[in-house]
Structure formats: structure tokens, C-alpha cells
């Protein structure tokens, strides 16, 4: 994440502008934390350790994406209700589907489940700590709202670059529902302690983050580094853009 030239950003007509913001909440995975190595790489390594074949990364990626999407459909039928037990079940199904030839699927799942509970499994974009420091110096309340489960607490304890988000974590499995449910964003509003319209939610998922937050009355922006999102929705390419688009 490179430092932008502020004058260039200010003159960019494609960037949105947000006013009246008192709090900024971030999505977790895909926004401020990223698997390191990638999900497909670690899944492939675990498969081999547990008697499976090392599938081509594209094949493994497609299998993972298909199973993940199927579980999203299940969550819709549950009206987005969730819990730590449901999240563990979801990941057991995804792992079993993605690594369908391992000799000990329970052991493979447990290794992956524990792996992603540690800060070392994740990377944080370069420069994010500086962005958060700048926001805090402007008096903004900072927090995180994620569809991860309670493992995120340990992850955040170990990722010191994100320490300014740690005190205001809103985690779906502890709230009892996942984004884009309105009840999830009501928990964000309560944790921020300011009116919904003065909260900016930042995330990489169109439905879960942008549309879910907007439907609950928050302001929202899509992190869209490859500019694939809809042109009529507010979006940024880099988290450093937030320092310009949030106006006093």
C-alpha cells in the first residue's frame, strides 16, 4: 500500500467524499488482513501432510470457492444467523469438500482451523498502521466488523499493526448473525456509540459490506483495488485513499 499524493487524490473525480464521519469500522479478511500464504497454498500443503494429492492451485481455488458459495447459500436460508458452532461446522464442510482425498479429514480440518487462529497466518497491508494513526489523530473512532468467528480475537491480539481496531471488535459469531444482516450493523452502531449516519464502513464485499451497511443507515465505501465494482457505488482503490475521502 503506497502513500498517495494528496493533491492528486483531491482532484480525482472518481473518488467519493464523506462528511460528518465520526467513526470508521473496517471489514477484516480481504480488507485489512490477508491469508499468508494464500488459502490455496496452505490447503495444498495440509492435504499432502494428511495423505492427499497436491491438486493444481486453480483446481483447488475453484473447489474452495464453490464450497464457500454453497455455505453462503445455507446462511441465507438461516436468515444469516450464526454462532461459533455454526462457523466451525461451515469450515469443516468447506475443508472436507476442498480436500476430498485426504486420509484423515478431521485432522486436516483441525490443522487448518488452528492455523487461521494465529496472527502469523495473516499479512497486513504495508502502511495501514500509519493510516489508522492518522485517523485517530483526527479524533475518529476506529473499529472492526467481521464475519470471522471468535478466533479473530487472538489474531488481532497478535497483529500489532491493527492495535487501534482491537478495542472495538464486532464479530458475527458473537453477535449471532452475519453480514449483511441489519442486526449485525446495529451491533456496529452500538459499539461505535455514535449515530449510524456518522459511521463509515469499509470493506471489500459488495453485498456484505457496502450494501449491508448502507441498508442499515451507515455510510460505506467499497475497497476495490482492481476497479471491478459498480461505477455508481462509492469505492476506493487503496486504504490510504481514506485520508482524503473523509472530509471534516
Per-residue pLDDT, 12: 59
Q: Is the pLDDT of residue 229 over 90?
A: no
Per-residue pLDDT, 231: 87
CATH of the domain spanning 6-33+124-245:
3.40.50.1000
Q: Is the pLDDT of residue 9 over 70?
A: no
Average pLDDT over residues 21-25: 98
Long-range contact list for 157-162, CB < 8 A, 24+ apart?
Answer: 157/119, 158/118, 158/119, 158/120, 159/33, 159/119, 159/122, 159/124, 161/124, 161/128, 161/129, 162/32, 162/33, 162/124, 162/128, 162/129, 162/132
Q: All 3 cell numbers of residue 169?
A: 471488535
Average pLDDT over residues 226-236: 91
Interhelix angle 105-115/84-98, rounded to 10 degrees, is: 120
191-213 pLDDT per residue, tens? 999 999 999 999 999 999 999 99
Same fold, 6-33+124-245 and 39-120: no
154-198 pLDDT per residue, tens? 999 999 999 999 999 999 999 999 999 999 999 999 999 999 999
Q: What are the residue ranges spanned by the domains of the chain?
A: 6-33+124-245, 39-120
Within a 10 A sphere around the Cβ of 204, how many other Cβ atoms?
20
DSSP-assigned beta bridge partners for residue 122: 35
Q: What percent of the chain has pLDDT over 90?
A: 90
Whole-prediction pTM: 0.92
Q: How far apart are the first and last CA of the chain?
A: 24
Confidence at 4, pLDDT banded by 50, 70, 90 = very low
Which single residue is written with the C-alpha cell 481455488? 61
Fold (topology level) of 39-120: DNA polymerase; domain 1 (1.10.150)
Average pLDDT over residues 84-100: 96
Q: Are 214 and 206 in contact (CB under 8 A)?
A: no
Amino acid at each position: 500500500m503506497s502513500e498517495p499524493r494528496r493533491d492528486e487524490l483531491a482532484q480525482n473525480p472518481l473518488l467519493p467524499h464523506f462528511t460528518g464521519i465520526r467513526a470508521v469500522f473496517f471489514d477484516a479478511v480481504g480488507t485489512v488482513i490477508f491469508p499468508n500464504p494464500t488459502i490455496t497454498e496452505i490447503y495444498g500443503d495440509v492435504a499432502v501432510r494428511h495423505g492427499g494429492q497436491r491438486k493444481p492451485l486453480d483446481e483447488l481455488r475453484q473447489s474452495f470457492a464453490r464450497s464457500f458459495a454453497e455455505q453462503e447459500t445455507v446462511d441465507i436460508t438461516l436468515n444469516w444467523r450464526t454462532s461459533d458452532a455454526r462457523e466451525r461446522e461451515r469450515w469443516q464442510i468447506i475443508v472436507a469438500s476442498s480436500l476430498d482425498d485426504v486420509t484423515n479429514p478431521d485432522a486436516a480440518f483441525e490443522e487448518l482451523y488452528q492455523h487461521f487462529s494465529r496472527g502469523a497466518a495473516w499479512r497486513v497491508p504495508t502502511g495501514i498502521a500509519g493510516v489508522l494513526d492518522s485517523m485517530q489523530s483526527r479524533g475518529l473512532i476506529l473499529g472492526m466488523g467481521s464475519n470471522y468467528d471468535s478466533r479473530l480475537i487472538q489474531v488481532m491480539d497478535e497483529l500489532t499493526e491493527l492495535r487501534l481496531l482491537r478495542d472495538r471488535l464486532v464479530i458475527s459469531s458473537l453477535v449471532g448473525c452475519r453480514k449483511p444482516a441489519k442486526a449485525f450493523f446495529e451491533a456496529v452502531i452500538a459499539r461505535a456509540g455514535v449515530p449510524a449516519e456518522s459511521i463509515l464502513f469499509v470493506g471489500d464485499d459488495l453485498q456484505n459490506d457496502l450494501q449491508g451497511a448502507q441498508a442499515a443507515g451507515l455510510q460505506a465505501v467499497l475497497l476495490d483495488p482492481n476497479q471491478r465494482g459498480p461505477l455508481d457505488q462509492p469505492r476506493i482503490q487503496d486504504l490510504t485513499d481514506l485520508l482524503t475521502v473523509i472530509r471534516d
